[in-house]
């Protein structure tokens, strides 16, 4: 185990939910909870279209697949009604966080690489099997 753990985490950045229809899900959230939503954002690199729902302390991200090879389509094949996909925790240095996790024998998805999110911030995903069964995204806050 790495003696550099625990990571320095600032907060929960967002919660992400996969849905079969962004439009219907957005309507549900606005009718039921009065949520304000962003305009839809296409993220072709991840095969998704998403909207953010804004709460005072956190964002919820709704995602629908935009093609059949999208990882979100594979998730929906197993969970046709949609469901909780990942949570995002923020930190001030994604690269350092990734290295500390790897030293602690916690696997990183996608070849151990930090990538750019659609917003330009550094992100990576921890392997759910090394994280109590939950997909956890780590996002850098300050770049």
Residues taking part in catalysis: 137
Q: Which is nearer to Co ion, 88 or 108 (CB)?
A: 88
Contact 125, 135 (CB under 8 A): yes
Does 93 contact Co ion by CB under 5 A? no
Residue 88 burial (C-beta neighbours within 10 Å; 0-12, 13-18, 19+): buried
By CB under 5 A, tell whether 122 contacts Co ion.
Answer: no
Q: Binding of Co ion at residue 140 (CB under 5 A)?
A: no
Which stretch in 12-20, 26-34, 89-97, 124-132 sits in contact with Co ion by CB under 5 A? 12-20
Among 88, 94, 97, 106, binds Co ion (CB under 5 A): 88
* Phi and psi torsions of 59, nearest 5°: -110, 145
Please tell me the distance from the alpha carbon of residue 42 to that of residue 37, in angstroms, as a whole number: 15
Residues engaged in binding Co ion (CB under 5 A):
16, 88, 137
């Amino acid at each position: 185990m790495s003696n550099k753990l625990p990571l320095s985490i600032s907060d929960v950045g967002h919660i992400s939910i996969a849905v079969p229809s962004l439009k219907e899900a957005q309507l549900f959230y606005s009718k039921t909870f009065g949520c304000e939503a962003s305009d839809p954002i296409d993220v072709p690199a991840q095969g998704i279209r998403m909207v953010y729902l804004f709460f005072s302390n956190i964002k919820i991200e709704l995602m629908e697949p935009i093609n059949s090879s999208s990882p979100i389509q594979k998730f929906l094949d197993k969970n046709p009604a949609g469901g909780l996909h990942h949570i995002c925790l923020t930190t001030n240095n994604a690269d350092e966080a990734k290295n500390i996790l790897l030293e602690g024998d916690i696997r990183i998805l996608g070849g151990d690489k930090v990538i750019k999110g659609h917003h330009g911030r550094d992100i990576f995903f921890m392997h759910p099997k090394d994280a109590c069964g939950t997909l956890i995204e780590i996002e850098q806050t300050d770049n």
